[in-house]
């Protein structure tokens, strides 16, 4: 009964945010470069910082799917087999290290949840991912992902990332540049600083 109440409360909280996404904008709280403090950010198709899906190179989308979620176009928000494998690895290590998050789950986490690792957050992430996948097309999910994800210190979205890394607009990125941006996603602040040092 308690679990059902929790699930109902979460869906009641989450559903309005999905509606806001459908309207074309979102207000969320990304992290500062220190990984602790957060600030308010607003983005969406109404804003200058937004990059439409058609201007995000297909090679960038393909690189993201290949690196982060190879079953992205087949699942309904989460990948049960990957989650089972992650649970087994976490059990062997005795701590939560692997999350097996799909792109949809990562989008939910980046927009609506904290970075704190817990199974409770994972359940909320999965529940949100199912709802999001049911209401947003895969291409819209990729567009939102590329527009809100962190690519470096205070560098959020592919437009800011393309400019910071390569001095380009997103639509002009080539395949190698797409792969470089996507490779930064697991540790964006460290990756950006390493690349910056390498150029000096």
User: What is the rounded distance in angstroms from the CA atom of residue 66 to the CA atom of residue 45?
Assistant: 26
Q: What is the CATH number of the domain that holds 165?
A: 1.10.3810.10
* Domain count across the chain: 1
List alpha helices for the chain, DSSP H.
2-23, 58-68, 80-93, 103-112, 119-135, 138-148, 158-166, 175-183, 188-199
**Domain boundaries, position 12:** 2-199
* pTM score: 0.86
User: What is the rounded distance in angstroms from the CA atom of residue 121 to the CA atom of residue 106?
Assistant: 12
171: Cα separation from own chain's centroid: 20
Task: Quickly state the pLDDT bin for 33 (edges 50, 70, 90).
Answer: confident
User: Could you read off the pLDDT of 140-190 as tens digits, one per residue?
Assistant: 999 999 999 999 999 999 999 999 999 999 999 999 999 999 999 988 888
Contact 23, 46 (CB under 8 A): no
Most confident of 73-77, 173-177, 196-200: 173-177
62: Cα separation from own chain's centroid: 15
Shortest CA distance to 60 belongs to which of 164, 132, 139? 139
């Amino acid at each position: 009964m308690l679990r059902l109440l929790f699930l109902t409360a979460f869906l009641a909280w989450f559903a309005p945010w999905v509606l806001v996404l459908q309207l074309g904008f979102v207000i969320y709280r990304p992290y500062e470069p220190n990984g602790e403090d957060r600030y308010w950010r607003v983005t969406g198709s109404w804003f200058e910082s937004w990059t439409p899906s058609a201007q995000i190179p297909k090679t960038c989308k393909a690189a993201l799917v290949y690196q982060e979620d190879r079953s992205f176009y087949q699942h309904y928000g989460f990948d049960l087999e990957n989650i089972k494998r992650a649970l087994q690895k976490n059990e062997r290590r005795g701590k939560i290290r692997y999350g097996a998050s799909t792109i949809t789950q990562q989008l939910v986490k980046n927009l609506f949840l904290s970075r704190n690792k817990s199974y409770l957050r994972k359940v909320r992430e999965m529940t949100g991912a199912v709802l999001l996948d049911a209401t947003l097309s895969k291409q819209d999910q990729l567009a939102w992902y590329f527009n809100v994800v962190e690519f470096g210190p205070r560098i959020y979205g592919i437009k800011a990332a393309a400019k910071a890394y390569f001095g380009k607009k997103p639509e002009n990125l080539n395949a190698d540049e797409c792969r470089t941006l996507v490779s930064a996603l697991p540790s964006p602040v460290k990756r950006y600083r390493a690349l910056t040092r390498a150029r000096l």
